Amino acid sequence: MDLVVDASVVVKWFIEEEDTDKALLLRDDFVAEDVQLHVPSNLPFEVLNAIRSNPDVAEGRAIQVQTALDRCGFVVHPLRDEFARRAVHAAFAGDLTIYDAAYLALSQVLDAKFVTADEALTRAGGRSAIPLRDYQVVGDS
């Protein structure tokens, strides 16, 4: 199964937050190759910025997260062509940042669901969005 995942989910792989348990279930499905995760090329910037903004995270830990992201095996999509056009449209239509609109646009281009912990993005995504709190292990769905 192909899914688009956003930074609000991936950050929870590294920092304990609300719904981290659900984020780890998704990560486990990814590691088990039950799902393939697609991301826009801005995801590492967003994740590392969130990690850097956490006062409990030291530089060494942030470097570990960066290394983990490099090795993760996401299918990374650069923002260009139809994907870029849809991201711009989604940003204007939904009053979203281009960063957030990129996840929605990628899910549209791929005709895939996307998982997010961001309530505004869940609303903007409509039926294509899966709120992280509702994520179920692939074998259980």
The predicted-structure confidence for 27-57, as pLDDT tens digits, reads as follows 999 999 999 999 999 999 999 999 999 999 9
Lowest pLDDT segment from 71-75, 127-131, 134-138: 134-138
Burial label, 76 (beta-carbon count in 10 A; 0-12, 13-18, 19+): middle
Assess if residue 141 is contained within a domain.
no
pLDDT(139) > 60: no
Kindly state whether residue 115 falls inside one of the protein's structural domains: yes
Residue 89 lies in a domain: yes
Residue position matching structure tokens 């470097």: 63
pTM of the complete model: 0.92
- Indicate whether 141 pLDDT > 70: no
Q: How far apart are CA 94 and CA 96, in angstroms?
A: 5
25 belongs to a structural domain: yes
Domain membership of residue 76 (yes or no) is yes
Helix H or strand E encompassing 13: none
Asked if residue 48 is part of any domain, the answer here is: yes
Number of domains forming the structure of the chain: 1
| Residue numbers of the domain that contains 95 | 2-134
Task: State the pLDDT at residue 138.
Answer: 65
- Residue at 35 is within a domain: yes
Domain CATH number, residue 108: 3.40.50.1010
pLDDT, residue 129, reads 94
- Asked if the structure places residue 104 within a domain, the reply is yes
pLDDT at 18: 93
> Average pLDDT in the 59-68 region?
96
Q: For the chain, first and last CA: distance in Å?
A: 12
